[in-house]
Amino acid sequence: MKEVIDTSPSRRQVLGLAAIATASAVAAKAPSAAEPLEREASSAYVPADGVSTFESVWQTVRDRFYDPRHNGLNWPAVRERYLPDVQRATSQAALARIVNTMLSELHASHTRFYTPDEPEYYQLADIFVGALRRRGLQRAFPDGRISYPGIGIISGFEARGRITITAVIDRTPAQQAGLRAGDEIIAADGTVFEPVGSFRGKVGKSVVLEVHRSASVLQVPVMPVDLEPTKMFLRGLESSARIIESNGRRIGYVHVWCYAGSIYQRALESLLSQGALKDADALIWDLRDGWGGAQPEYLDLFNARAPTMQVTDRSGTSEFVNVKWRKPVAMLINGGTRSGKEVLAYGFKKYRLGELIGTRTEGAVLAATAFLIGSGLLLLAVEDVRVDGERLEGVGVTPTIEVQAGGASAGADDPQLSRAVAVLSGT
């Protein structure tokens, strides 16, 4: 079989970094016709380059997709059907829509083409930075720094073409501005809102968002910053940690926005052993939304039979090793809980570590890797995954206690979090 890419990541890299893209726009599906049609100047688009990009994506899928039968598709015939549309495309956005419509026929998670007008492009480049160093990373990011102008939201398109916030990452401009999950962003400074484009050239400057919330239309000023994905997700995790007092108990809470890297698990262990959560009586482990990539062994955190060590050097500096949590715990999940996080949810439920609260997970559990192709990035499912012999792709994990999420009109109320607090505090 001819390889399009010469160097492949190891099996551990693929499984460890498998991540599903954020928000509903990320799952493999045909793009909505209501999505904004232009995200970049069409004058910058070269049709020949678009055809070359399409061909490279098609070939990479042919040679690397986890199912050599392409889920029963005649893959050469698929190319012939879409090539005329590609040849007529007049912009990068139009090309991406055509490519993603083609990819959606595979009916597979972790299979989508992203452009630099999407936050996920930068987040995936950062997640897969090790593999991409051998696949054109320097061409895409000449200074080696992966960042984008943004405000720290996870969002998806609705049928009306508006962008709806599905989650707000902790300690970001979006949170500071008071934006909420469920808010619909209509415009930015009076023009159509674009997740990246609306903030280009405006870092450190006020941008006024027109936001639809319940029956009201609000003008919300926000100041975009230059976001480095790993730092944003790590800061969000650490900043989310807090103690919730309820019924005489101290309930710890932490939201792990991304699990694609051991740095996030180490941060969690630090919070539990010597940080903001060390004196908590119970723990709420929030795995809703964001990226997957978690390793199954992260559940060993709740193995009560293994010891925790504390090592101290000659200067008196101490560090906890093999941290274990031996108190009650509950996990929060929803339709944005994907990939490696679903593996954790599966094990958490199977081994009865605590209550699983929220709604069914996405069912996006294929192992993926990334390729920089043309001016975009292809996330591609390259291996099938079974957990204890069970295939979670397209199935997901159901909660032990089902609780629907609240909308933006609910304000700061979070019904799923409130239920977890009640369960752990006995109220």
CA distance 356 to 363: 16
Q: Identify the CATH number of the domain in which residue 212 sits.
A: 2.30.42.10
pLDDT value for 309: 78
CA 323 to centroid of chain Cα atoms: 26
Q: Is residue 200 part of a domain?
A: yes
Residue-number span of the structural domain to which 62 is assigned: 11-140
> What residues does 365 pair with on adjacent strands?
none
Q: Which residue has the tokens 């399409």?
A: 54
Helix, coil or strand: residue 82: helix
Query: H/E element holding 272?
Result: helix 262-274
* Closest C-alpha to 17, from 269, 357, 380, 315: 380
Arithmetic mean of pLDDT over the chain: 89
CA distance 193 to 199: 9
Question: Could you tell me the two tokens for 80?
Answer: 């012939």
Angle at 375 between CA 25 and CA 235, to 5 degrees: 55
CA distance 117 to 163: 14
Domain boundary residue among 202, 226, 250?
Answer: 226
pLDDT value for 411: 52
Q: Which residues of the chain have pLDDT under 50?
A: 1-43, 409-410
> What residues does 309 pair with on adjacent strands?
321
Do 134 and 170 share a domain, yes or no? no
Q: Is residue 6 part of a domain?
A: no
Q: In terms of DSSP bridges, do strands 329-333 and 282-286 run parallel, antiparallel, or are they unpaired? A: parallel
Do 250 and 338 share a domain, yes or no? yes
Q: Identify the CATH number of the domain in which residue 398 sits.
A: 3.90.226.10
Do 314 and 421 share a domain, yes or no? yes
CA distance 425 to 71: 47
Sequence-separated (6 or more) residues with CB below 8 Å from residue 424: 246, 249, 251, 281, 282, 283, 284, 328, 330
pLDDT value for 160: 58
CA distance 7 to 305: 41
| Order of all β-strands in the sheet with 376-383 | 112-114, 376-383, 367-373
pLDDT digits (tens, 9 = 90+) for 344-386: 999 999 999 999 999 999 999 999 999 999 999 999 999 999 9
Domain tally, the chain: 3
Residue 66: C-alpha distances to residues 3, 367, 385 (Å) = 14, 9, 10
Helix, coil or strand: residue 155: strand
CA 341 to centroid of chain Cα atoms: 10
Q: Is residue 375 part of a domain?
A: no
pLDDT value for 43: 45
